[in-house]
Amino acid sequence: MTRLMKLRPTSKSHTAIKAVVFDMDGTLSIPQPWMFGAMRKAIGLTDPKTDILTYVDQLPSRELQAEANEQLKAVEARAMAEMRPQPGLLPLLEYLTAHEVSTSICTRNLIAPVRHLIASFVPDEHQRFAHIVTREFRPTKPDPAPLLHISEQLGIAPENMVMVGDSHDDVECGAAAGAATILVRSATNGHLLESRADLIDASVEDLSEIIELLEAGFEKKR
C-alpha cells in the first residue's frame, strides 16, 4: 500500500518526514562520470559488474589492498579538486534548516572530500549534518546497514526518513532500510527510472525541487 510522505502531515494516513540523508558524489555535487572509470583503471579492475570496494576488499593481501586504496584516493583527490555543487543545493539546505529537518550524509567516499564539499559550498549556518557515514563504515551501500545506523543514532524510524541519491546503491540502500527514496536524475542514470522503478519513490533534476515534494507530499511505494 502506498503512503503519502509529507513534511507536515495533514492526515493520519500520511507519514511524516523527519530526516533527509544525502549521498555526496552526483547528489550534493555535480556528477563526475569519468571518476569511476578512472578508479577501475587505476586498480586494474576490468570486470564492469564487479563493485570497486568489494574488489579491493577481496585482494589477496593487505599490501595489495593498501596499494589499491591509495590509487583510489589519488583519483578521489582529483575529483575533489574539480568538485562543484549540485544545482539547488543552497535553497534546499536553507529550507531544511528553517524547518529543522535533520540532515545527514551517507557516502561510499572518504571523509576528506565530504569535508571539502561542506567547507567549500555549504554556508556555516547550514553545516548541521548530524551524521556523516563514509566507506569506513562496513558494509557500505547498497546494504541498508549505513542508513539503519543513522536511523538508530538519530532515534528516527527509517519510515520517517528520505534517502536522496543518484545511483542504484543509494535507492537500494534506502528501500531496503525502509526509507523513502528520491533519485537525483542526470545524463547517465535515467535508466534507473525504468530498471529500478520499484526502488524510486520520486525523482528530481534540481535539488530545490525536493522542497515542493516535501511540502506537497509524494507516494512511498513500499
Over residues 177-187, mean pLDDT: 97
- Residue 149 has which C-alpha cell? 545506523
Over residues 23-46, mean pLDDT: 96
Strand partners, 106: 133
**Mean pLDDT across the chain:** 96
N-to-C CA span, the chain: 7
Q: Give the model's confidence band at 221: pLDDT under 50 very low, under 70 low, under 90 confident, else very high.
A: confident
Outline where DSSP puts E strands in 90-216.
102-106, 129-133, 161-165, 180-184, 202-204
Strand partners, 4: 219
Question: With contact defined as beta carbons under 8 Å apart, do 30 and 205 qualify?
Answer: no
For 68-107, what is each residue's pLDDT tens digit?
999 999 999 999 999 999 999 999 999 999 999 999 999 9
What is the rounded distance in angstroms from the CA atom of residue 205 to the CA atom of residue 201?
14
Q: Give the model's confidence band at 1: pLDDT under 50 very low, under 70 low, under 90 confident, else very high.
A: low
pTM of the model: 0.93
What is the rounded distance in angstroms from the CA atom of residue 5 to the CA atom of residue 158?
12
What was the pLDDT predicted at 3?
86
Q: What is the full DSSP assignment across 100-111?
A: T-EEEEE-SS-H
The counts of H helices and E strands in the chain are 9, 9
What is the rounded distance in angstroms from the CA atom of residue 58 to the CA atom of residue 200?
31
Q: Give the model's confidence band at 219: pLDDT under 50 very low, under 70 low, under 90 confident, else very high.
A: very high
Parallel, antiparallel, or unpaired for β 218-220 and 161-165?
Answer: unpaired
What was the pLDDT predicted at 2?
74
Q: Where in the chain is the domain with CATH 3.40.50.1000?
A: 3-31+84-220
The CATH number of the structural domain formed by 3-31+84-220 is 3.40.50.1000
Segment among 35-39, 174-178, 201-205 with least mean pLDDT? 35-39
Helix (H) or strand (E) holding 3: strand 3-6
Task: Answer positive or negative: Cα dihedral of 111, 152, 53, 221.
Answer: negative
